[in-house]
Amino acid sequence: MVNKVYADAKSALEGLSFDGMMVMSGGFGLCGIPENLIVALRDSGVKDITVVSNNAGVDGWGLGLLLESRQIKKMVSSYVGENKEFARQFLSGELELEFNPQGTLAERCRAGGAGIAGFYTKTGVGTLVAEGKEVKEFNGEKYVLETGLVADLSIVKAWKGDHEGNLIYRKTARNFNPMMATAGKKCVAEVEILVPTGELDPDQIHTPGIFVDRIVKAEFEKRIEQRTVRQRENA
């Protein structure tokens, strides 16, 4: 049996990163992001990478760290509104950007993991999203061709995992992680809780261990992207 468990995020990425690679990074905002693996990727010094992620974290945290260190050459994303450094680099021509409707991005990752080269969708027809892409008519409706995505490396975050790499995500922290875990040539997962193989209920597993090459138990800060509170009424 191959040992998939690594001591820390740094060792879990050894031999997997290289300049010019494509990385899929799970998460939505700061929810469910592989924050330890992102820091390890930054510390590895890899450069000119393309990152596929719903968004680019925030300034100073998540993928925002890789933007600050100028290690990202291109982002494939659906939402980037919380990161000022992202906006600055994009508007100044320092960063390439491929925008995707959010559902299309999720399906491109799912398709890549399922071995599907491309699919047709109505989303984006007649907009900038469809420019340069094939548009075909089915049953009187137009659809645009989108391609599946396969990354050199997927980094994901789960709530619980076992030594075989089986993963369970918690609530909305699941988001893009399951699709991206299947769409990487190599997948590294970080988890909050690591248990011996056999302790997870097979019916509850979201990502089977066959898709996960390495796993690490890590500690998390769980930062809040935007704190919104109700003003206290006067007594």
- Using the predicted structure, report yes or no on whether residue 229 has a pLDDT greater than 90: no
The CATH number corresponding to 5-116+149-217 among 3.40.1080.10, 3.40.50.12780, 3.20.20.70, 3.40.50.300 equals 3.40.1080.10
Residue ranges of domains in the chain: 5-116+149-217
- Residue 67 CA from chain centroid, whole number: 15
pTM of the complete model: 0.94
pLDDT band at 235 (very low <50, low <70, confident <90, very high): low
Confidence of residue 106 (pLDDT cuts 50, 70, 90): very high
Of 46, 165, 95, the closest CA to residue 38 belongs to 46
What's the angle, vertex CA 172, arms to CA 166 and CA 173, rounded to 5? 50
CB 12 within 8 A of CB 40: yes
152, containing H or E segment? strand 151-162
Beta partners for 155?
25, 188
**pLDDT tens, residue by residue, 138-177:** 999 999 999 999 999 999 999 999 999 999 999 999 999 9
User: What span, in angstroms and rounded, lies between the C-alpha atoms of 164 and 167?
Assistant: 9
Across 2-150, the runs of DSSP E, i.e. the strands, are 5-6, 22-25, 49-52, 72-77, 96-99, 118-121, 135-138, 141-147
* Model pLDDT for residues 54-84, shown as the tens digit of each residue: 999 899 999 999 999 999 999 999 998 788 9
